[in-house]
Copies of this chain bind each other. A is one copy, B any other.
């Protein structure tokens, strides 16, 4: 179903090489961290998980991996840029739940039927504006379980 580890590495290597770039140890490490994560990671989070990585190399390599379409950038309302593996590498087109409280970003998927419906609507809009569609982005912004006030505070006190 989902892409295997070695297959992922092969695909990443192939995309980098068509971009004239090498798949170095640092770049492998970035792909591995992102594969292990279940949500898009900020740069500090990436460095926490692979403390040998130099900050500047992380920035440089994420840019490079983004240009090669191996990873993609996720922006939310908080000050951190996050990164995740490119959707067509993982095979999972997905969207994000974004918590306004703690900044958490969770992935979710919609039915392909509904995705198709979204694309049809957006296609029409794009045409009206002479816009060439590339991808859509649908996020749900709100409060996660931990950040939302409990429904019955008095009950929690008993």
Please, which residues of chain B bring their CB within 8 A of the CB of A135? 140-142
Stretch from A5-13, A54-62, A110-118 contacting the other chain: A110-118
A140 touches B145 (CB 8 A): no
A98 CB to closest chain B CB (Å) equals 8
Is A25 engaged at the interface, CB distance under 8 Å to the other chain?
no
Within 101-145 of A, Cβ neighbours of B (below 8 Å) are at 106, 108, 110-111, 114, 117-118, 121-122, 125-126, 128-145
Is A73 engaged at the interface, CB distance under 8 Å to the other chain?
yes
Copy tally for this chain in the complex stands at 2
Interface size on A, residues (CB 8 A): 37
Q: Are A142 and B137 CB-contacts (below 8 A) given A73-B77, A114-B121, A125-B108? A: no
Given A130-B148, A131-B140; 17 other pairs, CB 8 A cutoff: A73-B77, A97-B125, A97-B129, A97-B131, A106-B131, A108-B129, A114-B117, A117-B117, A118-B118, A129-B145, A130-B144, A131-B148, A132-B142, A135-B141, A137-B140, A137-B141, A138-B139
A62 CB to closest chain B CB (Å) equals 13
A110, A137, A141 — which one has the most chain B CB atoms within 10 A of its CB?
A: A137
Q: How far is the CA of A117 from the CA of B110 in the complex (A)?
A: 12
B145 touches A126 (CB 8 A): no
Q: How far is the CA of A134 from the CA of B99 in the complex (A)?
A: 9
